[in-house]
Structure 1
Amino acid sequence: MNDDRPQFWALYLTRFAEGFGFITLITLLPYYINELDPSGTTVLGVTISAGFIIGMYTSGFTIAQTFAVIPLAWAGDRFDKRTVLLIVVGLGAVVYALFPIVDSSASFILIRALQGIAVTGTGLMTLSLVGQIAKTGTRANYIGKANAASFSASIFGSLGAGALYEVFGFGPIFTIIVCIMVVAWLGTFRYLEADETRVEGFPFSDLALNRKILTLSSFRFQYAFSVTLVRTWVPIFAGTAVYGGLAYGGLAVALTVTAEKFTNMCCQPFTGRLSDGYGRALFVFAGGGAYGLVALLVPFSPAIGTALGAPSSIVIGVPGFLAGASAPFVETIPQQISVFGDVSPAFVPLVALSGLLGVADSFREPASMALFADEGTEDGGVASSFGIRELVWRPGSVIAPLLGGWLMTEVSMASVFYLGGAFALTGVGTFLVILVWFHGTRALVEW
């Protein structure tokens, strides 16, 4: 791999495509809940609650990811990562073409599961290749750039999905995603060189006992519950018309999602470069703790908005040139146009808190990924290292949506965010104790 710049750009393009498709489904999730109208049902004498079905809208995706991690990571280390990447990107294009045929909760969950396989494979291979191509002292920086590409897609995908859904419904959105996936496949095929590294055996067994990976996993296992709950339920809180949701329109929901992605995108190249120089473990600790604190504030956005006198609508005035138009023409045009539809005083604080979640996570993510890449590259199994990173995340990503669905329907919407914030804070606490106890007080700034 000699000419690195075109390869990095090909990988960034693929990360963009992956992020675009993933965030579109997150943005549209509350509208699938509204349209598919999940309700309790009985199968073979067993009652399945609406909360469980809502949880499966996300858990079906993450369960499939869990089963896909090990075989995909093993194939990436054992064979050509470029070939594996081309296969999963191609699968992604097919999967997104299937979403317009969804007509029930069962079909939505099934196609979401296929999406989970495609997203997992694309993420594993792109991050593994970025970590493998980049030099040791620059990995967090390049990984931060790769993540920024994904987050930029999240911005366009979320805003585009929110706006297009209001006008056209689901179909045209997925046509755009398929086109982007095809372009990413062609870019990868054209510019990414074959991966010549081959790892014999099963590197998972050695890396699973790596002391740094075990220490990071003590945090990541708990943090997965936090991020899955908070990221999934911010748009659900904003968009659903039931269970205490704010019932905002598509563009308003898109902005709440985009705020987190935008701040994360802007910060990650910078925070990644800082963590390369000042200690990655410190950035993991600080970012995770800040994320938990902000998550606890999300349910208070209506109270914060009311206390601060936040506007209940975002409007723009009629362009000035219309002031000179004839009276009958002016009467047909509203004097003010509501940009995001009917919202409430909670809207501005919710967008601001979502942005702060992105800032907090931008400190944690590139530093964590670089630590896993360092250990995997040194032991000869970078895809397996990222595979372990994914596996540690899976229990939280599978169980949390089911738990969140139950909490939302049986307790309250706010309880979802309280639990999410608590998981982040206990995660960083556990991480700090293990880090200091087994690796010394300097490990926080030396890793």
Structure 2
Amino acid sequence: MTNDELQFSSLYLTRFATSFGFMTVLTLLPDYIDALGATGVTIGLFITALELARTVGIVPLGWAGDRYSKRLLLVGALIVSAVAYLALARVTTIPGFLAARFLQGLGLTGTGLLGLALVGELAPNDGRANLIGTYNAFRMAAGIAGTIGASILFALTGFDLLFGLLTILLIVAAASVWLFVDGDETTITGFAFTDLAVNRRIVTLTSFRAQYAVAVSLVRKWVPIFVGVSAAQGGLAYGTVVVGAVLATEKVTNMLCQPITGRFSDRQGRALFVFVGGGAYGLIALAFPFASTFDGLLRFSVPMAGEITGAVVAVLLLNGLLGIADAFREPASMALFADEGKGEGITSSFGVRSLVWKPGSVLAPLAGGWVMGQFGIEWVFFVGGFAALSGVATFLGILSWEHGSRALRQW
């Protein structure tokens, strides 16, 4: 391997290891709830502790990544993650679990921001989205492996061996980053968040991203609900095997497409891919409530899954298309933030990107629950779809007004 290949391979391993850990705990969350006897508000705290840490860590880690060595800080974040998963293997109390989750959230924020910043900084300008897309593909692969592999390993071995193997994987990733990733030479002495938050291009991107966060948070969380809840609540009433298969289709198509769409966006214009991907996501989301109309077109039996109807096939196809749509948008969007942050504070640029996402990701599910209760589950998808379309319309409008009619192809 060349030096560049070793560097990127180390960062890809980091992405896989940290995403695998995240999906492992998410998959085992019901087991922790049962084992620790959590109920009501406490269950909510299991999720909030992680999200709180992921939020409060953005600004200080973004500043530190631009001021000091990203490589050293990434190694530190990987070690923090390893400690968190060791704690999760042995936790016996609710306060202990919450503390471990908070530590896990800090590790995830550090590895996410710093790993992405290093990829964006090391990548050449004309290949940045392609390499970011490849980096993200390892996250999707870990999502698939985490949901399937973690449940099987836990059933066979329990917490200890599963988290022991995960800890070893994180330590190997940390050693790989230390040995093979070059130290970055860029040092930003000021507070880059201040300048980047008012950067004209970043403001244009965030006008889309703030609304798109609502769309993705609603659609991703309500797809499994739609497939699994009873017909009385507007769902398709299928079991966990079918729900898992539906969720996997989005990750598989996203994983396969991101390196390809990233490469094309480097050539054709990244803003164009953000616009196309976001618009397609909104249109596909609007189609979900109509999946049940295909129910009678097809009917066959699958071992473990039971009877499969045309509605399930429609949802599988739609969720696969969502993965393709998001594959158009994500690497191009990340590359644009990297373009603006390189030399000015690339970690802070990605920090701004993360902060803009948080309000929608936190508040949209609460709004979605209210919409479902008041108007029906189909309206959750309608609201999500309209949020994506509103985001791309706003993006196109500001892009054309502020940067000219050709900016869609020039960015």
Give the CA deviation at 1:252: 3.5
Instruction: State the match for 2:253 in structure 1.
Output: 263
1:110-158 Cα distance to aligned partner (Å, 9 max, x none): 5444332221211111111011111111111111111112212222222
Q: Which deviates further from its counterpart, 184-193 or 104-113?
A: 104-113
Is the CA contact (8 Å cut-off) linking 1:58 and 1:401 kept in structure 2? no
CA contact under 8 A between 1:63 and 1:398: conserved in structure 2? no
Matched with 2:189 is 200
Is 1:353–2:318 an aligned residue pair?
A: yes
The answer for unaligned runs of 5 or more in structure 2 is none
Partner of 1:386: 350
Tell me, yes or no, if structure 1 residue 375 matches structure 2 residue 365: no
Quick one: percent identity of the two aligned structures? 51
Residues of 1 paired with 2:161 and 2:239: CA distance? 18
2:367 to 398, 403, 411: 403
Unpaired runs of 5+ residues, structure 1, are: 41-47, 315-337
Structure 2 contact 297–309 (Cα < 8 Å) conserved: no
For 1:386 and 1:301, the matched residues in 2 are separated by 36
Letter in 2 for 1:229: L
Give the AA of the match of 1:259.
T
Equivalent position amino acid for 1:231 in 2: R
Q: Aligned in 2, Cα 1:95/1:158: closer, same or farther, shift over 3 Å? A: same
Change (3 A) 1:93 1:245: farther
Shift of 1:169: 6.8
Alignment of 1:150-169 (within 5 A): 150-164=139-153
Paired residues of 1:159 and 1:255 also in contact (CA < 8 A) = no
Matches within 5 A, 1:173-212: 173-212=162-201
Q: Select the residue among 31, 54, 71 that pairs with 1:65.
A: 54
Matches within 5 A, 1:30-41: none
**Where do residues 19-418 of structure 1 align in structure 2 (5 Å cutoff)?**
19-28=19-28, 58-100=47-89, 111-164=100-153, 173-238=162-227, 248-304=238-294, 306-311=295-300, 313-314=301-302, 338-340=303-305, 346-377=311-342, 379-407=343-371, 412-418=376-382
Paired with 1:416 and 1:176, the residues of 2 have a C-alpha distance of 39
How many residues align? The count is: 409
Change (3 A) 1:239 1:162: farther
- 1:152-210 Cα offsets, whole Å, 9 max, x none, are 22222223235556767766654443333232222222222223321111111111111
TM-score, normalized by length of structure 2? 0.87
Q: Compare 176-185 and 211-220 and name the one that shifted more.
A: 176-185
Question: CA, structure 1 residues 432+138, in 2 after alignment: closer, same or farther (shift >3 Å)?
Answer: same
Aligned residue type for 2:219: V
Tell whether 2:386 aligns with 1:422: yes
Structure 1 residues 99 and 252: CA distance shift in structure 2, 3 A: farther
Cα distance in 2 between the residues matched to 1:401 and 1:116: 20
Contact persistence 2:280–2:325 (CA under 8 A) = yes
Provide the alpha-carbon RMSD of the alignment: 3.2
Structure with higher helix content: 2
More moved, 256-265 vs 54-63: 54-63
Change (3 A) 1:13 1:436: same
What is the TM-score of this pair, normalised by structure 1? 0.81
Q: Structure 1 residues 93 and 55, CA, compared in 2 at 3 Å: closer, same or farther? A: same
| Cα deviations by residue, 1:360-403 (Å, 9 ceiling, x for unpaired) | 000001110111111111x4211111111111111112222333
Give me the whole-angstrom Cα distance separating, in 1, the residues matched to 2:407 and 2:309: 46
The offset of 1:19, in angstroms, is 2.1
Distance of aligned partners of 1:12 and 1:352 in 2 relative to their CA distance in 1, 3 Å threshold: same
Query: Conserved in 1, the CA contact under 8 Å of 2:299 and 2:308?
Result: no
1:300-323, Cα deviation, whole Å (9 max, x unpaired): 43443x143143x32xxxxxxxxx
Q: Rg bigger for which structure?
A: 1
